[in-house]
Structure 1
């Protein structure tokens, strides 16, 4: 009996818990489909429009400035490069046995100016050039940006030894050159051939031809030297061909470079360089001429705007919207008051009397015809009087 009392009957789970456990098993085995929640609608607010993705984008439009920057980047430049050629007479001392590569006072003078110009902050394209000088004459070709040329001319005229230079004339100005003639600043000393033929400059065309020949010889001389720089005849200091720490690799350094010619080339009588040097007789004709512009005029033109004398002669078509050509014309007088007295016809007649008389072409012709008729009548009267006098005299 005691054992039966200790054994308790099994406790059964309630019916509701059994049903819940069965439903949970079914949900885990077969989960129900996700039920979409209804979209929240807030009355009084605008619904957001869906973003529309377009597959084809509109091309970016390039301006002329963008194309210009691309071209400068491809050519390895920062801005445009200009070329300036000028000549003059100098009084710097030169030794009798002067070699091609020796530094003379005139080369030191121009080299210091070139170095000061290139060390300026405002210069983007460094200055390069070529100096050809004789015992009394010189021709200087320089290349650089606009600021470099302006600084170079200012330093030239403000230098201490400028009193040793005379008759500076401008030979040529070439804007936006395609390529540099030289990669550095070089100098060349030589003795040109003597011009045997007489040069006739009776007209302006003859003077222009002499100037053209002189410039062509200088350019051919530079081309000849640049072609021989790669050979053994002419050697250039390689340390002066590049700028250290510069952004542009193609920009040279104008410093200690010079031309060194071998002894065989110096003593050779048939030196091709001698035939490419401009004759002294040509320079003696060009420098004193009044038709060749002075370098001072070009130097003073920097930083100044050109004042046009007349828009009618310089610009076509005439910009009448900006220039009031009718400022001295009499305007139309509008009637803003009521007639004081009289009818409408009297008022119109009064207005016509107040206006100045019109000077038309018809009125002029009529006046001329009337004057001619009066003159003809006076001549006829004079002829009749003469006839009467003759008749009386014969009687």
Structure 2
């Protein structure tokens, strides 16, 4: 009689089958972060698109996809992909910022040298030319003033976006004022409101092939999906929301843990009394202090002296 076939699949086989059902090769995440930029809309979109193309051009389990919403000075970025590709995008973005700053400094130095050369030529001809500020007095170049991460969804099963796109918009004005020094509950409530708007934005982007926010009226339903500038600025100032650069720095980093016994001196040994500072609330629940050998010697000596004194007093009587 033949034995029945046994199911010898491993956990890896089950995980691979689940990935095939949802059309993925690895676990996917969705990250939402916001920021304040200093470039024109077209230029900041160009910088983001360059990093996305660089990530997707290299080997990656899940291509980076998402939506970039750009205002005049603020932006919201919803990005999807595997954990490695998303954090690779962040590293490329910060590297692009560093390259841009170096390029701007080089152009500023060339412009300053050209201005000095023109002034020297004018002085040789007897003319007076007004010089601009010194190079060290120029404002510091930066692409992003502030960056904050709103949330990360881990192990998502369905991706919202088919590719990556960027749109520009003019957001509505916020009615009322927000207190940046308010309690934690107020900050979390404003974060929830912002995430609800972003979720509504994702649903609109999923339903429309060509997403556009140009020419919208104030009462248009799409306007409710745009986070207000005051709301984004409030979240960027919040002390309860993590900085994006800090989160990117922590990726794949394990800090060295310092144990307590490595911070004390002398090092704990069998000769170190570790119970000296224990509070004696009740002798029934507190271990007695260890008795040292020299204490036993002193105790025996004291007992002998007491016996001699008793014997001496009895003989005199």
User: What's the TM-score once normalised by structure 1's chain length?
Assistant: 0.53
Paired with 2:66 and 2:292, the residues of 1 have a C-alpha distance of 75
Paired with 1:329 and 1:189, the residues of 2 have a C-alpha distance of 69
Contact 1:190 1:274 in 2 (8 A): no
- Which of 289, 294, 298 is residue 247 of structure 2 equivalent to? 298
Q: From the superposition, tell whether residues 355 and 144 of structure 1 become closer, same or farther in structure 2 (CA, over 3 Å).
A: same
Where do 1:247-258 residues align within 5 Å?
Answer: none
For the pair 1:179 / 2:158, whether they are aligned, the reply is yes
- RCO (CA 8 Å, sep 6+): is it higher in 1 or 2? 2
Count of matched residue pairs: 228
Where do 1:312-327 residues align within 5 Å?
Answer: none
Paired with 1:75 and 1:190, the residues of 2 have a C-alpha distance of 33
Paired with 2:189 and 2:177, the residues of 1 have a C-alpha distance of 14
**Match for residue 208 of structure 2?**
228
User: Which has more helix, going by share of residues?
Assistant: 2
Q: From the superposition, tell whether residues 57 and 309 of structure 1 become closer, same or farther in structure 2 (CA, over 3 Å).
A: farther
For the pair 1:195 / 2:174, whether they are aligned, the reply is yes
Paired with 1:214 and 1:309, the residues of 2 have a C-alpha distance of 39
Paired with 1:223 and 1:291, the residues of 2 have a C-alpha distance of 27
Q: From the superposition, tell whether residues 356 and 87 of structure 1 become closer, same or farther in structure 2 (CA, over 3 Å).
A: farther
Secondary structure of 1:287's counterpart equals: helix
Structure with higher Rg: it is 1
How far has the Cα of 1:183 moved from its partner?
1.2
**Match for residue 210 of structure 1?**
190
Contact 2:172 2:218 in 1 (8 A): no
**Match for residue 284 of structure 1?**
233
How far has the Cα of 1:188 moved from its partner?
2.0
**Match for residue 116 of structure 1?**
54
How far has the Cα of 1:71 moved from its partner?
0.6
**Match for residue 100 of structure 2?**
161
Paired with 1:179 and 1:356, the residues of 2 have a C-alpha distance of 73
How far has the Cα of 1:199 moved from its partner?
2.2
Where do 1:1-395 residues align within 5 Å?
Answer: 54-94=1-41, 104-121=42-59, 123-159=60-96, 160-161=99-100, 163-201=142-180, 202-229=182-209, 235=210, 259-260=211-212, 266=215, 268-305=217-254, 328-329=269-270, 355=293
Deviation string 1:195-223 (CA, Å, 9 cap, x unpaired) is: 12222451011011111111210111110
Q: Extract unaligned runs of 5+ from structure 2.
A: 102-141, 261-267, 272-290, 297-317
Paired with 1:93 and 1:209, the residues of 2 have a C-alpha distance of 31
How far has the Cα of 1:165 moved from its partner?
1.4
Contact 2:35 2:74 in 1 (8 A): yes
Deviation string 1:24-71 (CA, Å, 9 cap, x unpaired) is: xxxxxxxxxxxxxxxxxxxxxxxxxxxxxx512450322222211111
Q: Extract unaligned runs of 5+ from structure 1.
A: 1-53, 95-103, 230-234, 236-258, 312-326, 331-352, 359-395
